[in-house]
Amino acid sequence: MEVETNTDMSFILQKLKINSEKKFKHQRIGLEIKQSIKFYLSPKNKQIKTQYSHIYYMRYLNLAKRFQINSEDSQFIELIQKIQNQQGTIKAIGTVFKEMKLKPYYFCQNQNKSLQDYVSNEDVCYLEDRSGRVKLQINNALLCLPNKKDKIINVSDLVTGITLMIEGQIVANNIVKVEKFYLPILPETPMLKQLNSTSYLCLISGLNYNALESTTKYRHMIDYLQGNLYSGEGSEIPYQISQVIFLGNLYCKLEETTDQQILQQDFKGLYNKLQLNIKGVDELISQLISVTPVAIMPGVNEPVSQMLPQTPLHKSHFPETFDKSNQLVFLTNPTEFTLGDIKILGTSGQNIQDIKKYSLVKNQEDVDILEMTLYYGHIAPTAPDTLISFPQQDQDPFVLQELPNIYFAGNMQKFGTKMVTDNVRIVSVPAFSETGTICLINLNTLECFPVHIQ
Amino acid sequence: MAEQDDDVGAIFDQQNIKRIYEEQQRMEAKFKESGWQLFSRSPPKINSSKPLQFMQLECDYYTQGQQSVIRMFGVTAEGNSILCHVFNFLSFFYMQAPVELLLEPQHIQQFQKEFNVLLAKQKNFGGKEPILKIEVCQKESIRYYKGDNKKINYLKIYVVQPVYVAQIRNFLKSDNRMVCDMELPQLTFESNIPYALRFMIEYDIVGMGWIELKDYVIRDDQNKISSCQIEINVDCLHVKSIPLDEKSDIAPLRILSFDIECAAEKGFPNEEHDPIIQIACIVKVHNRSEELIRVVFTLGDCEKIPGAWVKSFQKEEDLLNEFQVFFSGLDPDIIIGYNIQNFDIPYILNRAHNLRLKNYGIFGRIPTTQSVIKNGKFLSKAMGMRETKDINIEGRIQLDMMIHMMKEHKLSSFSLNNVSFQFLKQQKEDVHYSIIYTLQNKSPETRKRIAVYCLKDAELPILLMDKLCCLYNYTEMARVTGVPINYLFMRGQQIKVASQLLRKAKHYDFIIPTEHFKSTDQEYQGAFVLDPVKNFYKVPIATLDFASLYPSIMMAHNMCYSTLLNTSPNKVGLEEEQVTISPETNAIFVKPNIRKGMLPLILEDLINARKKAKNQLAQETDPFKKAVLDGRQLALKISANSVYGFTGAQVGQLPCLEISASITSFGRQMIQFTRDTVLEHYSKKNGAQFDAEVIYGDTDSVMVKFGDYSVEQAMALGREAAALISKKFIQPIKLEFEKVYFPYLLMNRKRYAGQLWTKPDKPDKIDTKGIESVRRDNCFLIRKMVTEILYFLLIKQDEKSAVQYTKEQIRNLYLNKVDISELVITKSLNSKKEDKDGGKDKDKKKNQNEDDGNKLTKNYKQKQAHVVVAEKMQNRDASNAPSAGDRIAYIIIQGAKGSKTYENAEDPVEVLEKDFPIDFDYYVNNQIKKPIMRLFEFVIPNPESIFVGDHTMSRYIPKVNINSALGKFVQKRTACLNCKKVIKENEALCNFCHDKTLEIMTKSSIKLQELQINYHKYWTTCQSCQGSLLGDILCSNRDCEIYYKRIKVQRDLKEQWDEIDKLYAQQQ
């Protein structure tokens, strides 16, 4: 067990070293988690009579007012339906709808199921508001980013559900050739209050615990977090962790089959396996809960509601842990909460994975996509189109109302981190089962680094 | 036969010219005022010193004073509309010259004079002399071979006006027909040909063909009689047809597709009081991918629609007027739509009439002629004879896609939803007409919803037309058979063959008698069917087919009117070997070396042309040209096959039972010969490994079981047998080997299924005939099961799994695990009266409806299930009640003991919402059993066994519905979610099950996840189908399976979620 020493890391380690010289106390700061109610579904909400269109409508209403518009700008068109009376350059706000040839469609039986993503050259984007749709012609259009680094984008970069302002030429009846895309203005930069002492937030995603395979790496992880494993540079860090969060996919995926019929028929066999995994994870957490506060988010593999926002796991899944302590906190997915005074927002990764499936951003790092969702002002644009989500009536919970201090996504392929603006740290947390990586964030400085456990 | 009588041209009065000009000017001004001139045709550029070419669209005639003028509407290659007036073409017919008549000119003149005097006395002619001139010519009647070169003298009688032809013909039926003391023959020749067609035949012009004019005069605007851009006067001598090998493309025709929406407060819209609220039009130019314009005219303000022009009006009158201005200004060549002929156009015209609009209904190209509705008939493939409405729209082609679909395709439902799903793979949002009324009266935004929907309905016919290559196919059919394109919509098959026969006969100096036929009951034996040896064959079955059986028989044996003998051969100087005698019917035909028949010549032309087209098709890469060629080869094939029908049609133009009966007798003989040869040649006696068996034969094919060979060996044998037998027939009869079935399930005549192989390495597909899987009144479950079972039997060749699958499905059905949309049965509601007292009709249907089981048919005078459901719906919500023509969907639910099935039919939506228990026994015994038993009859020894046993024992026990009648007697108590034991209120599990909480919760969650995934799938599919993210889904398309699934999953998900919440709550 060692801390990887690449260039970034050594820099951080040096800093840590200085810290550790000053103070070496195995004392953790207790910080309280306060969840926002935004991602909780009220029982009244579960009537499920609402259609998905309301989410799009609320999204449009919310985001449309966040664009910078000069009231005297004659090029700006309030409603898309009015475009046909215009000529020349126009600007308009709307939600992107991408029509995709390869996207699985209910009525097409012969789907190529092996496809990894559904992007093709024949995809077409539309911009829609409550008045109608206009077809977009996009050929190396410019996307204006808040950091002034404009980016060239094409149809394959966009996904359904993003709300943007376009600037372009009307080239034919109801077709606009887009020259520029504008993003909604970012919310205000958040404050960051200093804590009295050094404290870390630990993010772990994708245990994918499988009782039938070796579980040594999980033991090592627990050992590390308990502070038992490591006695070199930075060995004091585990003691400074004030919160561990598991970002979904605690249990491994049970069957590759998606045929629910089979899943139900063979429930007994399935449950026997799952039961072992549930028990195994419970054991791990129960060991951890005695040394550090733990919070848990659900993910795709958990046996709970799959619609975003996902409802929290339940204490029946953790009988042993609850025997020891009732400190375990269950979070929604996505989750938004304050840890002390620090604002935290994150998901178990479905939002980013879905964007990757429906756009050509493969050569981009996970963390870049994560960053883009902040710029879009929306953390899960493909919901509800391709990302299964709950049909809400009065809000689109995924609209980014304020910037968090920390924004993360779990179950990613690679670790990555960035400061988006002052006091805003984003991090893509890779699946632990694949990479043996956990992430630590210093809550005072927002410095973030991975720890590899072998 | 009555065609000549109908062939009355429009009468044109010179006085009208001024009015037409003013009318035209007025319309154009209005058109400009509305701002549409952007979309009008580009102005014509004609160099009158050069020949003018155009593609002919429609050909008819009008009379102006004494003169009959042919008028041809067309479009130039530049896309300009043109009307061509052809002068000086005289109508004529033939008559055998009386033997006493001397043929010197003076005698002929005398004859003509006296004939005219006689005719002028008749009241039909009112003193006028109808005959203009008489020529003597040498011709021969096409009927019967009378010996070599037996041409005799005929009189070619030219008349002043086309109508006189029929009148003289009718006159000759009378007894008083002495001219110059000579008795005139009763029989006339070619006296029943429409004038315009006569003209086209004389000048070799074909429908949709290109025409070149020389020495023409262009009319100036003041002298035009139409709204066409160009009008031309030309003498008939300067009209020349351009052969198709020189120019075969299609002019850039303008196609206008439209759809109207009406708002009715109650029931189906009625033109007396329910207004037209929207008309959507899409205009496209043929062969251009993008649309020219899409417009929607709305009553009441409507929000704008991107990509479409929205014009709103406060008064319906203004809306209708603007539509007419738009329509005539855009000047479409083809008008298409879905059910426009029987609904949209009549509705518009009747509505205008009810609103007392003046000068309305100018949809044709003659600004003074209003379109009016006449009743007509057409023959539908699926529904037999149908009443229809004919509307005259001069110079434009009307193509109602609904009528096209009914004529050409056999579908169970012809709703636009179903048709577009079948052919375009697009589900269409369906807004019920009761919702339209509500939407119309709400706000501009809701009216926009209607408009979007209306536009979609205008777009789909265009997509259908393109997809099915209608324009290409009709064009090619018109060109091949030579008739104007509108004959293809308005008239039957006969005129097409007649047109070809006349053209061919003219070339060989034959003339065709105009005979009068009474329909006779004389029948002749049809095609031959070798009785099927029903079984499930697990060895390859080779299929030997006669290619184009009837046409090739006609060609091989030179069968024609002109080669048939009505006397013994020696009387016309022929030896026995110079004739062919047909089997059974003993008709005698002259061999081709003596005289080639007209029908074989026509067929040769058609078949050679088809070969050529197919060769070109194989080489062509351009998709547009490919479509033209494919349309052409198809038209040629259909034309070749309809020649046989022409000779057999008893009330046809020229029936000849000797020919048609002989054709089928040859066919029967050939099938038998093929069977005998195969049996003889492929027998152990003759050294074959196995004795071959012929297991089935129908019309033009024979199924052979050679023995226990591999597919490859069976193919080789099939090819060998085909070649062997072909040699024994006269050219061009050819027995072809194309495919092998393996395995092959032969259930009955015209009812079989098999895996089809054309290459030995891998099978092509499953091929079925006469299997339930397509009939719409069966529920989807049967269709699904039949398909699956065939998959197991034919592809997997695993009988056990097939049985197991069937049992599993039956078990699922009993356990209520089958999706409700799979159980929906639909039937279309005829007019209500018909259904109530139509006992007689149903008597006939009784035998066909066996599947519906005893309950329904035993008492057929009782109501039918779908009628009962319609009544129930009417009682629940009159505004939402179905009307005649609607398809009613229903589900059979459990009823009281002894109740009739029809009483237990219920609206699926109601079943879903109220959670009515489904009558699974009905589905198993009355829906599934028969077709499934039939499949297994030869597969397993005792197919009954599938329907008995453990899997039929466990049944789903429905929850008692608190709102139902029974529910009032039930006390609601809380039960353990797992074991159903009664527990305290607000608890989820009993004490015993409490220990298993995690397991129960997990199980519940997995079910929840499944429902969530389905919920998301169904609702997002509908969201994208309706074409907007921000709008609510309104669709109530009952032909679409998702419609039910969507509602069901909503309820199921809610229930499941409640259960989980309850579990969670208990554990807190």
DSSP B630: H
User: Nearest 5 degrees, angle CA B825-CA B828-CA B833?
Assistant: 130
Q: Mark which residues 271-330 of B lie under 8 Å from A by CB.
A: 290, 293, 303-309
Indicate yes or no: CB of A260 within 8 angstroms of CB of B998.
Answer: no
Q: What is the pLDDT of residue B603?
A: 94
* CATH classification of the domain holding A448: 3.60.21.50
Residues B246 and B289 in one domain: no
CA-based nearest distance B255→chain A, Å: 19
* Token pair belonging to B699: 């019309």
CA-based nearest distance B1067→chain A, Å: 7
Separation of first and last alpha carbons in chain B: 88
Residues B198 and B283 in one domain: no
Whether residue A4 is predicted with pLDDT greater than 60 in this model: the reply is no
Report yes or no: A131 at the B interface, CB cutoff 8 Å.
yes
* Token pair belonging to A303: 């046996």
Is pLDDT larger for residue A398 or for residue B433?
Answer: A398
User: Looking at A266-280, B513-527, B674-688, which range is the least confident one?
Assistant: B513-527
Q: Which of A5, A218, A132 shows the shortest CA–CA distance to B451?
A: A132
Q: Which single residue is written with the structure tokens 């009579």? A: A49
Q: Which of B239, B166, B165, B164 shows the shortest CA–CA distance to B201?
A: B239
Residues A157 and A202 in one domain: no
CA distance B7 to B73: 18
Task: Tell whether B280 is covered by a domain.
Answer: yes
Cα–Cα separations (whole angstroms), residue B617 to A52, B478, B620, B621, B634: 48, 19, 5, 8, 12
Residues A144 and A241 in one domain: no
Report yes or no: A110 at the B interface, CB cutoff 8 Å.
no
Neighboring chain B residues of A95 at a CB cutoff of 8 Å: 1029-1030
Q: Which of A128, A160, A182 is the last residue of a domain?
A: A182
Separation of first and last alpha carbons in chain A: 6
Domain span including residue A234:
7-45+189-452
Residues A269 and A342 in one domain: yes
- Percentage of the residues of chain B whose pLDDT score is greater than 70: 90
Local confidence band at B870 (pLDDT 50, 70, 90 cut-offs) = confident
* Token pair belonging to B668: 């029967």
The structural domain count of chain B equals 5
Whether residue A305 is predicted with pLDDT greater than 80 in this model: the reply is yes
- Percentage of the residues of chain B whose pLDDT score is greater than 90: 31
Mean pLDDT, rounded, for B448-477: 88
Task: Tell whether B963 is covered by a domain.
Answer: no
Q: Residue B709 in 3-state DSSP?
A: coil
Q: What is the pLDDT of residue A162?
A: 93
User: Looking at A261-270, B15-24, B154-163, which range is the least confident one?
Assistant: A261-270
Cβ-based neighbour number of residue B316 at 10 Å: 18
pLDDT per residue as tens digits for the range B230-273: 999 999 999 999 998 888 889 999 999 999 999 887 767 788 88
Strand partners of residue A444: none
Local confidence band at B858 (pLDDT 50, 70, 90 cut-offs) = very low
Domain span including residue B713:
517-768
Q: What is the pLDDT of residue B1064?
A: 81
Is the CA virtual torsion B371, B377, B378, B382 positive or negative? positive
Mean pLDDT, rounded, for B365-376: 85
Local confidence band at A21 (pLDDT 50, 70, 90 cut-offs) = very low
* CATH classification of the domain holding B267: 3.30.420.10
Mean pLDDT, rounded, for B475-497: 87
Report yes or no: A282 at the B interface, CB cutoff 8 Å.
no
Indicate yes or no: CB of A260 within 8 angstroms of CB of B1013.
Answer: yes
Local confidence band at B869 (pLDDT 50, 70, 90 cut-offs) = confident
Q: What is the pLDDT of residue B327?
A: 93
Residues A94 and A32 in one domain: no
* CATH classification of the domain holding A157: 2.40.50.430
Task: Tell whether B971 is covered by a domain.
Answer: no
pLDDT per residue as tens digits for the range B412-445: 667 788 788 778 877 777 777 778 888 898 888 8
Q: Which of B848, B718, B852, B741 shows the shortest CA–CA distance to B790?
A: B741
Indicate yes or no: CB of B1010 within 8 angstroms of CB of A60.
Answer: no
Q: What is the pLDDT of residue B58?
A: 92
CB B80 within 8 A of CB B226: no
Local confidence band at A15 (pLDDT 50, 70, 90 cut-offs) = very low
Local confidence band at B125 (pLDDT 50, 70, 90 cut-offs) = confident
Local confidence band at B843 (pLDDT 50, 70, 90 cut-offs) = very low
Q: What is the pLDDT of residue A350?
A: 92
Indicate yes or no: CB of B305 within 8 angstroms of CB of A132.
Answer: yes
3-class SS shares of chain A: helix, strand, coil, % to 5: 25, 25, 45
Q: What is the pLDDT of residue B838?
A: 39
Mean pLDDT, rounded, for B1021-1044: 79
Task: Give the residue from chain B lying closest to A42, CA to CA.
Answer: B1061
Is pLDDT larger for residue B223 or for residue B983?
Answer: B223
Is pLDDT larger for residue B1034 or for residue B488?
Answer: B488
Whether residue B962 is predicted with pLDDT greater than 70 in this model: the reply is no
B1-31: string of b/e by CB count within 10 Å (b at 16+)? eebbeebebeebeeeebeebbebbeebbebb
Is pLDDT larger for residue B317 or for residue B819?
Answer: B317
Whether residue B882 is predicted with pLDDT greater than 80 in this model: the reply is no
Mean pLDDT, rounded, for B351-365: 89
Strand partners of residue B254: B285
Neighboring chain A residues of B1020 at a CB cutoff of 8 Å: 52, 384-386
CB A63 within 8 A of CB A377: yes
Local confidence band at A359 (pLDDT 50, 70, 90 cut-offs) = confident
Half-sphere exposure of B914 (CA within 13 A, CB side): 15
Query: Mean pLDDT in chain B?
Result: 84
CB B324 within 8 A of CB B473: no
Q: Residue B936 in 3-state DSSP?
A: helix
Task: Tell whether B733 is covered by a domain.
Answer: yes
Residues B233 and B302 in one domain: no
Task: Tell whether A143 is covered by a domain.
Answer: yes
Neighboring chain B residues of A106 at a CB cutoff of 8 Å: 1017-1018, 1021, 1042
User: Looking at A107-111, B115-119, B152-156, B1062-1066, which range is the least confident one?
Assistant: A107-111
Task: Give the residue from chain B lying closest to A259, CA to CA.
Answer: B1010
Mean pLDDT, rounded, for A233-247: 84
CA-based nearest distance A310→chain B, Å: 11
Mean pLDDT, rounded, for B844-860: 38
In one letter, which amino acid is B38?
L
Local confidence band at A16 (pLDDT 50, 70, 90 cut-offs) = very low
Cα–Cα separations (whole angstroms), residue B61 to B9, B83, B701: 5, 12, 47
Residues B223 and B199 in one domain: yes
Local confidence band at A134 (pLDDT 50, 70, 90 cut-offs) = confident
The structural domain count of chain A equals 2
Local confidence band at B881 (pLDDT 50, 70, 90 cut-offs) = low
Q: Which single residue is written with the structure tokens 């209910």? A: A106
How much is the ipTM here? 0.89
Residues A107 and A223 in one domain: no
Q: What is the pLDDT of residue B547?
A: 85
Helix axes A216-226, A267-289, angle to 10 degrees: 20
Q: What is the pLDDT of residue B173?
A: 85
Task: Tell whether B283 is covered by a domain.
Answer: yes
Strands, DSSP E only, in A340-424? 342-347, 406-412, 416-419
Report yes or no: B1015 at the A interface, CB cutoff 8 Å.
yes
Instruction: Please enumerate in sequence order all residues whose Cβ is within 8 A of that of B553, keeping only pairs 6 or more positions apart, or say none.
Output: B559, B663, B666, B667, B670, B733
Task: Give the residue from chain B lying closest to A322, CA to CA.
Answer: B1068
Q: Mark which residues 410-449 of B lie under 8 Å from A by CB.
A: 421, 425, 427, 448
Residues A253 and A177 in one domain: no
Q: What is the pLDDT of residue B500?
A: 93
Whether residue B851 is predicted with pLDDT greater than 50 in this model: the reply is no
Task: Tell whether B504 is covered by a domain.
Answer: no
pLDDT per residue as tens digits for the range B611-625: 888 888 888 887 767
Residues A200 and A336 in one domain: yes
pLDDT per residue as tens digits for the range A175-230: 899 999 999 998 988 888 888 788 899 999 999 998 888 888 888 888 888 877 66
Q: What is the pLDDT of residue B898?
A: 77
Residues B240 and B274 in one domain: no
Q: Which of A235, A329, A405, A427 shows the shortest CA–CA distance to A35?
A: A329
Is pLDDT larger for residue B236 or for residue B831?
Answer: B236
pLDDT per residue as tens digits for the range B538-583: 999 999 999 889 999 999 999 999 999 988 888 888 888 899 999 8
Q: What is the pLDDT of residue A256?
A: 52
Task: Tell whether B789 is covered by a domain.
Answer: no
Task: Tell whether A59 is covered by a domain.
Answer: no
Task: Tell whether A51 is covered by a domain.
Answer: no
User: Looking at A435-444, B380-389, B599-608, which range is the least confident one?
Assistant: B380-389
Backbone angles phi, psi at A173, to 5 degrees: -55, 115
Report yes or no: A56 at the B interface, CB cutoff 8 Å.
yes
Q: Which of A182, A216, A237 is the last residue of a domain?
A: A182
Residues A171 and A258 in one domain: no
Q: Mark which residues 384-423 of A lie under 8 Å from B by CB.
A: 384-386, 388-389, 391
CA distance A163 to A396: 13
Task: Tell whether A55 is covered by a domain.
Answer: no
CB A391 within 8 A of CB A384: yes
